[in-house]
Amino acid sequence: MMSLNKLLHHVHLSCVPKDIQITGITLDSRKIQKGYLFAALPGTKSNGCDYIDMAIEKGASAILLPINVPFPQTDHCIAIPCDNPRYIVSLMAACFFSKHPQHQIAITGTNGKTSTADFIRQIWQLQHYKAASIGTLGVISNTNYHYTGPVLTTPDNIMLHEILTSLTEHNVQHLALEASSHGLDQYRLDGLTIEAAGFTNLTRDHLDYHHDFQHYLQAKLRLFKDILPIGGIAGVNADMDQDALTQIKQAILERKQNLRLVGEQGQFLQLLSVTPLPEGQQLVLKTALNDRFSVTIPLLGRYQIDNILLAMALIAKDEHDIANFIPLLPHLKGVRGRMEQAAILPNSAAVYVDYAHTPDALAHLLQSLRPHTHNNLHVIFGAGGDRDAGKRPLMAQEAAKYADYVIITDDNPRTEDPDLIRQEVKMGAPTALEIAGREQAIAQTIKKLQSGDILVVAGKGHEQGQIIGSVVHPFDDVTIIQKYVGSL
């Protein structure tokens, strides 16, 4: 419970003459209970303002709504009109759920957010802190807190703060979270008190939502322009697209944030060399203090290195701190569904699962697997329905460029026709094999694998369902792979 005037004061809105107690906050009229504050938000599919009457009937005590939206005459519910209710409700939620971990780091970028957040959490846990990550994999922590709500990469404007408070009550003071472009655009992260923010890379995705690349970048830049405070730590992969890097650096410098560049062109932490090993990679790193470290990580794939370097830059108190992380790196575990080894065939062919669902991610993935492939490299993938259609043929082009055999199949067709999605994908790789049904594609390809081959099944990673229409059919790439490898 919290007084409405306390919430209004927190967001710099005028207080009401007769204060009331708010019992909860929600964005969804269906979740209203007596005494709640309901934020009526215009959305992409429906309009929360259409549910104002219902909200009053269900006992909402206050309704946050856009200016100029009609509000019925009532003594039971207070209207709070404001310019940007989506933003204001996040600040209110941060006040209502007021316990937040002391150390919070947010990561944005097209690919690598989940992995970087996971590595940050792992490093903290290896240092014996209670630590958590929030993102596409849900809420992970070394406490007995179990989150069971809906999983978005960035939880909604209220849920995020509710989770933060629960984690804090479980003694978590170290938190890494993913800042998706949707989340940033929809003000889901406003109200957070982060001390560091990371930018992994910027390549094509989500143009269905952001329409063009510049809007997509601008949404991501909000993390530095509006959320990370002046003087905060800004970790950036220096090897990304250079135009994007220039704009990111400019935003960071304007906010006088502490820029930490990592990667081959990194200054805070530079990657000098990589040697692929059968079970991992040996890295030589150089810090801003000119110290050099040679370390082996038990993970395959160049992109894992980028994400680990960014993770270190974001949690380091200063340049000296890097030395403390180096001995921990050999203990890092792979992130679920990211370059995860699912099975080895009796003939020694290997099958991996990965979450690459963009052209750039597929290119990186396949290039990373090539040094480990002694015969042919096979990739099975599809493209999600109701998502950026422009990336479909581009994904196929990258697959055809870097794999020996390309198999196009289904990946969450959602409300679209899977045959049509596959056709669009195939435009980028006309000679690729098309197999309808992900299980059939996996089953048929496994039978063909020869000694020394690698197969990677991309796009679903950790996902536990195939979304067809609006029904989620249980589906786990690793389980399906193991079923067919087991029956060879």
Ligand X SMILES: CC(=O)N[C@H]1[C@@H](OP(=O)(O)OP(=O)(O)OC[C@H]2O[C@@H](n3ccc(=O)[nH]c3=O)[C@H](O)[C@@H]2O)O[C@H](CO)[C@@H](O)[C@@H]1O[C@H](C)C(=O)N[C@@H](C)C(=O)N[C@H](CCC(=O)O)C(=O)O
Ligand Y SMILES: N[C@H](CCC[C@H](N)C(=O)O)C(=O)O
Residues in contact with ligand Y by CB under 6 A are: 153, 357, 384, 387, 411-412, 459-460, 463
Identity of the amino acid at 135? G
DSSP state of 127: T
**28 lies in the site for ligand X, by CB under 6 A:** yes
- Minimum distance, C-beta of residue 402 to ligand Y, in the bound complex (Å): 19
Q: Does 409 bind ligand ATP (CB under 6 A)?
A: no
Which tokens hold the place of 408?
């196009």
Which of ligand X, ligand ATP, Mg ion, none has residue 354 at its interface (CB below 5 to 8 Å by kind)? ligand ATP
Q: Please, are residues 246 and 270 in contact by the beta-carbon 8 Å criterion?
A: no
Tell whether 109 is in a known binding site: yes
Which own/partner contact pairs does 5-11 have at CB distance under 8 Å and 24+ positions apart? 6/95, 7/37, 7/92, 7/95, 7/96, 8/80, 10/91, 10/92, 10/95, 11/82, 11/88, 11/91, 11/92, 11/95
Name the one range near ligand X by CB under 6 A: 44-52, 215-223, 230-238, 480-488: 44-52
CB within 8 A of 236, min separation 6: which ones? 198, 199, 245, 248, 249, 252, 259, 260, 261, 262, 310
**Interface with ligand ATP in residues 198-217 (CB under 6 A):** 200-201
DSSP string, 33-75: -TTEEEE--B-SSSBGGGGHHHHHHTT-SEEEEETT------S
Residues 176-215 that bind ligand X (CB under 6 A): 180, 182-183, 186, 188
Q: Which of 26, 90, 115, 166 binds ligand ATP (CB under 6 A)?
A: 115
Annotate 422-456 with DSSP letters as a single string: HHHHHTT-TTSEE-SSHHHHHHHHHHH--TT-EEE
Please state the φ and ψ torsions of residue 51, each to the nearest 5 degrees: -110, 15
Binds ligand X (CB under 6 A): choice among 2, 25, 36, 48? 48
Can residue 154 be called a binding residue for ligand ATP (CB under 6 A)?
no
Residues paired with residue 460 on neighbouring β-strands, in sequence order: none
User: In this complex, which beta carbon is closest to ligand Y, that of residue 412 or of residue 445?
Assistant: 412
Q: Is 156 in the site for ligand X (CB under 6 A)?
A: yes
Work out how close the CB of 371 gets to ligand X at its nearest, in angstroms, rounded to a whole number: 28
Verify binding: residue 154, ligand X, rule CB under 6 A: yes
Window of 148-156, 252-260, 335-343, 405-413 that interacts with ligand X by CB under 6 A:
148-156
Q: Token pair for residue 144? A: 């007995």
Query: 144 to each of 122, 129, 177, 333, how far by Cα in Å?
Result: 16, 14, 19, 20
CA atoms of 350 and 454, how far apart (whole Å)? 5
Among 162, 306, 424, 453, binds ligand ATP (CB under 6 A): 306
> CA–CA separation, 180 vs 183, rounded Å?
5
Site for ligand ATP in 448-467 (CB under 6 A): 461
What is residue 387's DSSP assignment?
S
Q: Is 89 in the site for ligand X (CB under 6 A)?
A: no
Alpha carbon of residue 246 to chain centroid: 23
CB of 117 to Mg ion, least distance (A): 8
The partner in contact with residue 459, picked from ligand X, Mg ion, ligand Y, none with C-beta cut-offs of 5 to 8 angstroms by kind, is ligand Y
Which listed option, ligand X, ligand ATP, ligand Y, none, makes contact with residue 384 (CB within 5 to 8 Å by class)?
ligand Y
**Residues 95-134: x where in contact with ligand X by CB under 6 A, - otherwise, as a string:** ----------------------------------------
**How many beta carbons lie within 10 A of that of residue 330, not counting itself?**
11
Q: Which of residues 341-370 bind ligand ATP (CB under 6 A)?
A: 354-356, 360-361, 364-365
Residues that bind ligand ATP (CB under 6 A): 109, 111-115, 136, 153, 178, 200-201, 303, 306-307, 338, 354-356, 360-361, 364-365, 461
Residues that bind ligand X (CB under 6 A): 27-30, 41, 43-48, 51, 136, 152-154, 156-157, 180, 182-183, 186, 188
Tell me the binding residues.
27, 29, 109-115, 153-154, 180, 186, 188, 387, 411-414, 459, 463
